[in-house]
Amino acid sequence: MSKYLAQYLVQRGDQQFICRGDKLYGRLKAGDLVAVYRDGTLYHSTVNRLRDSDWLVCMDGSVTKRISGSNFIPLLLKPPTLTPLTVKVDGEVYVTNSVIEVSPRQEVDLEIIVNSAAQNLSIKYEWLIRSGNGQFISSNNARVVAYQCGVSGPENLNCHISAIGADPSQAASDVIQLFVNG
């Protein structure tokens, strides 16, 4: 179960609504109530009175589950950003707008590192070839990938990342510029 995708019951005044975990920070207001199970008793509480040891009820699809207060409380905090991003080529930090000369069919390792505050999120990666005739020789859906350059000319690549629980939930790296000197 992803605490970010789970649905939580919230009461505001006389109205009740369901809120997805990754939307709680932006939607909850002071005085909103959530269902809490504490010391064998089920009741409602404002979020500012929650304890790490509390249990909250949530829906994971059509299944009712519970989540500890220690896992729920971080959903109430401002979500981390994915940026700034650090891009590395063969272990060296890539300088934006620079061009790296490579040999024909040279293999290079590409790596992307998200903002440290977002590193605990479940992140999806997608490396893209913007131009050029090289190819990924490993999965292009990993944080670190192996890329084999083409035979000549410019090659441009970048990485798109997404993470539920980040704000915004998507980001893209600057374009990595390679020039195959062949």
Q: Supply the pLDDT for residue 27.
A: 93
Query: Which pTM was predicted?
Result: 0.82
Position 176 pLDDT exceeds 90: yes
Q: How confident is the model at residue 61, as a pLDDT?
A: 87
Domain with CATH 2.60.40.10 in the chain: 86-180
Higher pLDDT, 43 or 182: 43
Query: Exposure of 25 by Cβ count < 10 A (0-12 exposed, 13-18 middle, 19+ buried)?
Result: middle
Cβ contacts of 49 within 8 Å, gap of 6 or more: none
- Per-residue pLDDT of 73-129, as tens digits, reads 999 999 999 999 999 999 999 999 999 999 999 999 999 999 999 988 999 999 999
Residue 171 buriedness (CB in 10 A; 0-12 / 13-18 / 19+)? buried
CATH level 2 (architecture), domain 86-180: Sandwich (2.60)
Only one residue has tokens 């441009």, namely 156
Higher per-residue confidence, 57 vs 157:
157
